[in-house]
């Protein structure tokens, strides 16, 4: 089965049987990228896949694999919430690194656990350390760790975000990466921790923003640069509607 779409004047051919995408158009030799799926994992054969193509692939995967739980909740276990596609995740990391290029970033931060894979991919491309906020206290937590209590939209409970003080420095320029933003409570909690540490926030990258909820908009109003790879405008009537 073939699905043809048009993107920036290029015809993309998605072969569902071989999971191979060939890109044809101006400068065919320079722009051709090949993707293959083996055992359910996307392998990106070339060093870089065009960012717009990656976003279209991400949207396609969301449409195929996501479950609309309610008008406000989207379940995406195979890509973000419970499973990871390593090849696609690496390309998302490359895209975030491209969007925040030249910002002199010293660390990538995120919140466990769903934000860790794409944050790791971003940190790997930027060649900087990754720090993730824990959601549960353990015997290994430092007693004076930074801590913020935040509500969880999907879990319906209040949790603590904890980061050891030695992992964040006042001289750090931090890129905050997360998987999904809804109301933005957890994001604001981590930003408060970064403020306590004196770290500068170089930007915020979100894989999937539910733009019909206030999280992303609130962060932009606070003055942060928020880059969302995909924005969903509505989940009404069990249908996923992307923002143009």
Same domain, yes or no: 37 and 155 = no
What was the pLDDT predicted at 133?
97
* 10 and 50 together in one domain: yes
Predicted pLDDT of residue 139:
65
| pLDDT score recorded for residue 95 | 96
| Nearest residue to 88 via CA among 63, 118, 132 | 118
- Mark which of 42, 63, 84 sits at the end of a domain: 63
Q: For position 82, which CATH number holds?
A: 3.40.50.2020
Is residue 92 domain-shared with residue 197, that is, in the same domain? yes
Q: Which range of residues forms the domain containing residue 32?
A: 1-63
Looking at the 3D structure of the chain, how many domains does it have?
2
**45 plus 83 within the same structural domain:** no
Per DSSP, 141 falls in state S
User: Are 211 and 191 within 8 A, CB to CB?
Assistant: no
- Kindly state whether residues 11 and 88 are assigned to the same domain: no
Looking at the structure, do residues 81 and 55 belong to the same domain, yes or no? no
pLDDT at 162: 96
Q: Are residues 192 and 137 in the same domain?
A: yes
Asked if 179 and 81 count as a contact pair (C-beta separation under 8 A), the reply is: yes
Q: Note the pLDDT of residue 136.
A: 78
Same domain, 58 and 73: no
173 and 124 in a common domain: yes
How far is 79 from 62, CA to CA, in rounded Å? 8
Select from 63, 79, 111 the last residue of a domain.
63
Q: Are residues 105 and 209 in the same domain?
A: yes
* Predicted local confidence at residue 178, as pLDDT: 97
Task: Check whether residue 39 and residue 86 sit in a common domain.
Answer: no
pLDDT score, position 38: 37
pLDDT of the residue at 141: 72
| Predicted local confidence at residue 51, as pLDDT | 79
pLDDT given at position 126: 98
Residue ending a domain, among 10, 29, 63, is: 63
How far is the C-alpha of 90 from the C-alpha of 125, rounded, in Å?
8
| CB contact set of 144 (below 8 Å; sequence gap of 6+) | 165
Which stretches in the chain have pLDDT values below 70? Answer: 1-49, 139-140, 153-155
Q: Are residues 39 and 4 in the same domain?
A: yes
């Amino acid at each position: 089965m073939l699905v043809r779409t048009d993107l920036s004047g290029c015809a993309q051919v998605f072969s569902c049987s071989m999971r191979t995408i060939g890109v044809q158009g101006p400068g065919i030799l320079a722009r051709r990228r090949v993707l293959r799926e083996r055992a359910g994992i996307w392998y990106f054969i070339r060093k870089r896949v065009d960012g717009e193509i990656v976003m279209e692939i991400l949207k396609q995967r969301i449409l195929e694999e996501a479950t609309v739980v309610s008008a406000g909740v989207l379940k995406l276990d195979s890509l973000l919430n419970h499973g990871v596609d390593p090849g696609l995740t690496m390309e998302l990391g490359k895209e975030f690194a491209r969007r925040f290029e030249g910002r002199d970033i010293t660390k990538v931060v995120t919140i466990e656990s769903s934000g860790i894979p794409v944050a790791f991919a971003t940190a790997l491309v930027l060649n900087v350390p990754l720090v993730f906020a824990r959601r549960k206290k353990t015997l290994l937590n430092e007693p004076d760790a930074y801590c913020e209590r935040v509500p969880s939209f999907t879990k319906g409970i209040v949790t603590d975000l904890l980061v050891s003080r030695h992992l964040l420095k006042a001289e750090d320029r931090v890129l905050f990466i997360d998987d999904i933003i809804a109301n933005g409570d957890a994001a604001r909690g981590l930003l408060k921790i970064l403020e306590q540490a004196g770290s500068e926030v170089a930007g915020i990258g979100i894989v999937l923003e539910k733009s019909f909820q206030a999280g992303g908009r609130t962060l932009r109003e606070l003055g942060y640069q928020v880059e969302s790879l995909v924005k969903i405008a509505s989940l009404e009537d069990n249908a996923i509607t992307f923002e143009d």
